[in-house]
Structure 1
């Protein structure tokens, strides 16, 4: 679990092919340097989010570490487009003493979105992102003033246009110097993880409605909800 508060930007220093033929396809190992700050308490097998993607440390020294990127991860994220020299956002997994400054991020990227506009507002940049037609259902979990994680950065959604499958965020000048998104151009892909709390809420509502439509305890479910509301109202009077 992560917070979406990027600790540092590292730099890709090596990319090498890996054979995942037994599980379907090929992947890569990525070696990331300039990462001393996130390696001071590192152990083999630890999780580090790279551009918001939870990856396992397989080798490390004082300033570099290596991770493996499997085929499924390449399909869902922008890690396959990385080149030697590219900067990447890095965040260690949370511990019990972490100040919780962002939101609950799993590091499980849903897909990538493309940058369709960048508007300089003086002290800030407003970015607009487009969700592909294939993943348009993710718009259900993107709401104005809600959380979203972009390349591992916890951000607040400004506006949402469901018809155009777009949403916008604003990034202040300080944040622009600490994360990779401002370095990207129009059309570039950004990893996105929508708020998992929205997924859980949606799943619960859908499940309840489906049971009601199937006649499985539908009336009982509604009755319980009504009883709870009436009990709360009576307690407050």
Structure 2
């Protein structure tokens, strides 16, 4: 679990792809350098979010660490666009003494979005995004949480075309990689888990109610159908 409060900006030092017949199984291994601030209490097997992706540390020293990335994660994220020298957001998994300044972030990327606009507004930058997979647009809510490249942000507006916007203050601009990106580049998106949970519970409850003819909803539907049938026969 993470907070979406980026701790440090690291650098992709090495990006190595593996074919499906190798031990890497079609995935990639990535080495991150300039990472000393997030490695002071590191252990093998620890989770560190890189641009919002929860990944497992397989090797590390005082300044670098290595992770392996599966084909599924590559498909869901912008990992395939990474290259040596790229800057990335880093955050360690939360511990019990961390103040929770962002929102609950799993590090499980849902999809990517493309930056479609980038405009200065005073000291802030307003970014506009369009999701690659429209399935997730239902979770994009004005004033709701979203995690973009591992950064906890608030959605300020959603337009009728599904484009959503965030406003990034000057302090955040100095702490994360997004201001370095240009229009057309992709970012990793994790929608708010709360929306998924609520949707799942509502769907399950409706399915249970509909399948039980004696449930309040079942009786309501039966009454509604009865009234409509009577109206039809009367006409």
TM-score, shorter chain, exceeding 0.5: yes
Quick check: which has more Rg, 1 or 2?
A: 2
Alignment check: 8 A CA contact 2:6 2:176 kept? yes
Matched residue, 1:62: 62
Q: Aligned partners of 2:32, 2:219: CA distance in 1, in Å?
A: 53
Alpha-carbon distance in 2 for matches of 1:222, 1:22: 59
Q: Would the alpha carbon gap of residues 149 and 217 (structure 1) be closer, same or farther in structure 2, given more than 3 Å must change? A: farther
Report the alpha carbon displacement of residue 210 of structure 1 after superposing the two structures with TM: 1.8
Among 150, 174, 178, the alignment partner of 1:177 is 174
Q: 1:169 is paired with a residue of what secondary structure?
A: strand
2:135 is the counterpart of 1:137: yes
Quote how far apart the aligned CAs of 1:40 are.
Answer: 0.1
Aligned to 2:87: 87
**Is 1:9 equivalent to 2:6 in the alignment?**
no
How many residues align? The count is 220
Q: Secondary structure of 2:116's partner? A: strand
1:203 is matched with 200
Residue matched to 2:148: 150
CA drift at 1:220: 8.1
3-state SS, counterpart of residue 208 of structure 1? helix
Query: Do 1:8 and 1:89's aligned partners in 2 also have CA atoms closer than 8 Å?
Result: yes
Q: Provide closer, same or farther for how the CA distance between residues 219 and 12 of structure 1 changes in structure 2, counting only shifts above 3 A.
A: same
Map 1:1-237 → 2, pairs under 5 A? 1-21=1-21, 26-132=26-132, 135-161=133-159, 163-215=160-212, 218-219=215-216
* Change in 2 beyond 3 A, CA 1:215/1:221: closer
Q: Structure 1: which 5+ runs fail to align?
A: 224-237
Closer, same or farther: CA 146–217 of 1 in aligned 2, 3 Å: farther
For the structure 1 residues 217 and 140, does the alpha-carbon distance in structure 2 shift closer, same or farther, using more than 3 Å as the test? Answer: farther
Q: Which runs of 4+ in 1 moved over 6 A?
A: 220-223
Q: Distance in 2 between matches of 1:122 and 1:183?
A: 18
Deviations 1:38-90 (A, max 9, x none): 00000000000000000000000000000011111110011111010000000
Q: Distance in 2 between matches of 1:55 and 1:22?
A: 20
- Structure 2 residues without counterparts, runs of 5 or longer: 221-235
How far apart are the structure 1 equivalents of 2:52 and 2:114?
16
> Structure 1 length normalisation: TM-score?
0.88
Any conservation in 1 of the 2:18–2:25 contact (CA below 8 Å)? no
C-alpha separation between the residues in 1 aligned to 2:116 and 2:219?
44
1:125-156 CA deviation, whole Å, 9 max, x = no partner?
00010012xx2121111111110000000000
Aligned residue for 1:26, secondary structure, equals: coil
